[in-house]
Amino acid sequence: MGLETEPLFQAWSYFRRRKFRQCSELCSQLLEGAPGEQAAWSLKTRALTEMVYVDEIEMDQEGIAEMMLDENAIAQVARPGTSLKLPGTSQGGGPSPAVRPVTQSGRPISGFVRPSTQSGRPSTMEQAIKTPRTALTARPVSSASGRYVRLGTALFEYIFHHENDVKNALDLAALATEHAQFKDWWWKVQIGKCFYRLGLYREAEKQFRSALKQQDMVDTILYLAKVYLRLDQPVTAVNLFKQGLERFSGEVTLICGIARIYEEMNDISSAAEYYKEVLKQDNTHVEAIACIGSNRFYSDQPEIALRFYRRLLQMGVYNYQLFNNLGLCCFYAQQYDMTLTSFERALFLAENEEETADVWYNLGHVAVGIGDLNLAYQCFKLTLINNNDYAEAYNNLAVLEMQKGHIEQIGDFQRSYMAAQKSEEAFPGHVDTQQLIKQLKERFAML
């Protein structure tokens, strides 16, 4: 190898070792001496892209802009089990929403923080429009990465990911697919990605389907399913995944996609079955292990959940969330010797105040379980010190104050009855709500 190629070889070495900033700087030095060096240009755009790369296959949450500017017509009153907007109550004998925490949209919290939830939701319309995607992907490099050998594809990825200039990226992809006489499936996928980012979901669907006819690829199926999920057509997405499994038997990403959809529709038992199928194909799949463990815990099987979380620990997962879950499982499985040790480790690994608040909140539940109400009071107070917006801690502190007899207002039975009725409509099988309604009716009869 000649001396003139050694810097380029070193830059490529930096790239292979994921030292993207050093790679970019070295390529810039090369281009100062030889501005027309295509290899340096291609490598530099790849390095800059990888710094901010986010896997477009992963389903991203709707931001403020998408919710306010969405003009896609969907059914106002969807049939049960056909919409992600109204997942409904638990189906198929899974744990009740009354005992399993849910998100603000009403979906059960899974056992796994997916890449789609890593990036924070934009707080204003301006942020939602201007902010580029900067989250890192947790998926392995997709098959499309092999096309980076051409400058055109590397340039597209640079414009799309690094510059977040979707319009120019779309223009480039349209010219490229026209140059290829509309026979290159890869460019059709990129046009579909641009349409999706612009909110033109039906146009994106056409591009992805056209690409699938030319080249059957798992990635394209995942992109197309993402479009259907954004259009609130989960049943269509599930059928698409099942058709893909007929052609790509045992493909983990497709099975996992079905499990995620069932979980978002609150069909926890079906989701668990598909996560088990994932583990049959890949017994080290962290998401499947974590979600099954979470489902077992909320199904009153902490001993089995403990086995799944111990498996994650053996695999090298080492964070506060895991030790937090281990502590809860040990407590409910009556393995008290390991409970406090797990929570101590969780407190040590917590990286911010919100994570610390979660641990103290769970410690408060442990204190309530062993009957030490003073310790529980202190734990919930520490929860609020770390996170002043922790609604559950306020609620539990109010219950403790009520047990102590510190009640400021008594006798508003009508509002209590109305709130209890709303609770019964939301969770018909909640025993405590039914007992409260019974007591209130007896109280009304005495008046």
pLDDT of residue 110: 67
Quote the pTM value: 0.75
Asked if residue 5 has pLDDT above 60, the reply is: no
Q: What does the angle CA 278 – CA 281 – CA 286 come to, to the nearest 5 degrees?
A: 50
My answer on whether 223 and 247 are in the same domain is: yes
Q: How confident is the model at residue 218 (pLDDT cuts 50, 70, 90)?
A: very high
Closest CA to 120 of 64, 70, 165: 64
The domain in which residue 420 lies consists of: 413-446
307 and 210 assigned to the same domain? no
356 and 261 part of one domain: no
Helix ranges (H only) for 103-200 are 125-130, 151-157, 166-179, 185-197
The C-alpha atoms of residue 93 and residue 95 are separated, in whole angstroms, by 7
Residues 189 and 108 placed together within one structural domain of the fold: yes
Q: Is residue 72 part of a domain?
A: no
Residues 247-285 pLDDT 10s: 999 999 999 999 999 988 888 889 999 999 999 999 999
Residue 392: give its domain's CATH number: 1.25.40
CATH number at residue 307: 1.25.40.10
Q: Output 5 or 294, whichever has higher pLDDT.
A: 294
Query: Is the same domain home to 108 and 173?
Result: yes
Choice among 64-78, 302-316, 377-391 with the minimum mean pLDDT: 64-78
Q: Do 31 and 152 share a domain, yes or no?
A: no
Whether residue 20 is found in the same domain as residue 146? no
Alpha helices in 248-301 (DSSP H): 252-264, 268-281, 286-298
Task: Say if 380 falls within a structural domain.
Answer: yes
Query: pLDDT tens across 128-159, in order?
Result: 444 444 333 333 333 333 444 466 778 888 88
Question: Token pair for residue 164?
Answer: 């977040």
Res. 122: pLDDT tops 70:
no
What average pLDDT does this structure show over 195-214? Answer: 93
The whole-chain average pLDDT of the chain stands at: 81
Three-state DSSP class for residue 110: coil
The verdict on 113 and 237 lying in the same domain is yes
Asked if residue 390 is part of any domain, the answer here is yes
Are residues 170 and 178 in contact, defined by beta-carbon separation less than 8 angstroms?
Answer: no
